Every structure is written in C-alpha cells, then in structure tokens.
Amino acid sequence: MEDRHTVVGTLNGDPSSSFYGVFDGHGGDGASEYCVASLCSNVITDPAFAHDPKLALSRGFVKTDKDYIQLADRYNKDDGTTAIAVVVRGDTIYVANVGDSRAVLIKKSGDAVPLSSDHKPNRPDERERVTNMGGHVIFWGVWRVEGILAVSRAIGDRMLKPYVIAEPELIETQRTEDDLCLVLASDGVWDVLSNADVARLVLQSETPQLAAKTIMEYSYQRGSQDNICALVVDLTRGGNHAGTKRPPGDSSSEAQQFPTLPASSSASRGLAAVSDNDDDDIANTTDVDKDVPSVELD
C-alpha cells in the first residue's frame, strides 16, 4: 500500500487552522511516507505561513521534494508521490496540488466544486511545459512522461527531473454557509467516479466516516483496481479539528482518534477511511463495512 494521508487539527497553536493531505505513492512508499512526516512541518514553519499560506504551501512542497530527492540519491530510490494538501484557516481554504489526487468542495446544495486540476502529461499546458524542458510525452497505455510516469507533477521521481516538477498549483477560496465538506482522495476514486458522483454519495451519508467508506466501496464496485485513500472533512460547524479512522498499526496520520459523531453534532469533524486491495499488505487495510447503503449514481 503506497497511499498515505495526514490530518493535523491545530497548527502553531491555532485551533482555527488545520492541515489535511493525501499522498498516492508510486514505485514504493518512501516519498508518500516522507510527505506524511515532513510536508505539514515544512509548510507551517515557513516564514511566510503567518501572512501568506499559499506561498508557504508552495515553498513547503518544493522543500519537501528537494529534501526527499537528496535522500533518494543517497539510497538509490526512484519512487515518487502525488500530493494534495489543504490548509483551512478560519474562513479561508488553501489548496496545493501536484499529480492526480484531487480535492473537491461539496456544497449542501449538492454542487461539487473542484479545488484542484489533475496534472496529466497530455494536459496541453503540462505537455508544453515538459516538451519545452526537453522531455517527451509518450502514449503507453496512457500518456506518460518519458513513457514512464502517468502524472506530470509529483514529489520525488528523481530520474524524471526536471520534467516532473513539485511546484504545486494553488487555489484559495472562502468558506460559506452552503459548504458541507471537503473530499480529498487518490485517483483510485476519480478514475471511476465523477465529482458529481462523489457529491451524491456524500449527501446520502449520515456522517463523514460513512461518506468516506461509501466512496471507497463504490469505487471498487465501479471497477477501481487501485489503492484508495478517501478523506472527508466536515465543514458545517465549529472548528476544523479532524479525526481519522485508521488501520491497526497505521502511522500515516498525525490526527487524534475521535469518535464517530452524529450528523447533528455541533462540533466539526473530518473522518477518513483508507483501503488497500493488495493482499500482501493486508495488515495495512481498513476494516470497511460491506453493507453499503443503496445509492443510485446513474
């Protein structure tokens, strides 16, 4: 299992600020593990964080990549990871992304608002950037950088530098009373479910935890063959603290463990469910309820 996630409920002593991240590793779990251990710290310790969280996120991504590449050179590791990271500070949401994990804001009205754009090698601006650097975008089952990697931005992937960069795309948006939750998930979800599909699943789930589980289960029912990480953050009330449902022994999240809360609770909680379809890594899988409520997506 190479997917990882992290939730930090209070940043620099400020309970109105939280950090959420999903990392989908490829070629090994070194980069995704390193992001869990280092990315949030690199962001919140950046001198710009207090006055410019977007700049701090950008610098944090680049620093995390630079530091991991140094380790990868030392230990001859060629793996990498996508990274979608969100800082919620008061009424503002900041999103940084490299790769094809995705963040979507779900409204109480049922609208799904994308907060990131996938970095695919055949995206026109990404193809142009790669080719201008001297790289190649080649079709090998799907479009790939140098015929190898199916994303054009990532942390790690030392052998594909400078074509695969870790400079994130950034989005800033203001919270509103119509916001229901944030969904962060790896491409094992988005390859088979649309943003609108996920919004419908969330709206028919009683808790963030059930929503995350249901997203996973429907992704597998729709034929996803990938590892899946889905993180659902409740934005309806209160602060931005988040609890995470984790597999036994899984240290990939920095969050406290919170109990499942009823939908009417006055506190705000985000709950994550993580699954892995690789039997060799069965110790890292989450116990997921098999009785998924019937939801019509089509």
Pairwise CA distance, residues 42 & 57, whole Å:
8
Residue 207 lies in a domain: yes
Domain, as residue range, for 13: 3-119+154-284
Q: What's the pLDDT score for residue 236?
A: 87
DSSP classification of residue 14: B
Average pLDDT per 10 consecutive residues for the chain, totaling 298 residues: 88 93 96 98 98 98 99 98 97 98 97 98 98 98 97 98 99 96 96 98 92 94 93 77 37 33 33 40 26 40
d(CA 194, CA 18): 26
Predicted pLDDT at 14: 92
127 in a domain, yes or no? no
Query: Helices 30-44 and 53-75 sit at what angle, rounded to 10 degrees?
Result: 140
Question: Is 160 a domain residue?
Answer: yes
Question: Is residue 210 assigned to a domain?
Answer: yes
Asked whether the beta carbons of 86 and 94 are under 8 A apart, the reply is: yes
Q: Is residue 25 part of a domain?
A: yes
Length of the chain: 298
* Whole-Å CA distances, 293 to 116, 202, 271: 29, 12, 18
* Cα gap 166→65, rounded to integer Å: 6
Quote the tokens at residue 269.
Answer: 């909680």
Q: Based on the structure, what is the number of domains in the chain?
A: 1
The predicted pLDDT at position 3 comes to 87
CA nearest to 160, candidates 59, 65, 274, 287 = 65
Using alpha carbons, list the distances in angstroms from residue 181 to 14, 234, 271.
21, 5, 11
The SS3 call for residue 136 is coil
Helices (H), the chain: 30-44, 53-75, 124-132, 187-190, 195-203, 208-221
The pTM for the full model equals 0.83
Q: Is residue 42 part of a domain?
A: yes
Give a yes or no: residue 224 inside a domain.
yes
φ and ψ of 61, to 5 deg: -60, -50
Residue 291 counted as domain residue:
no
CATH number at residue 109: 3.60.40.10
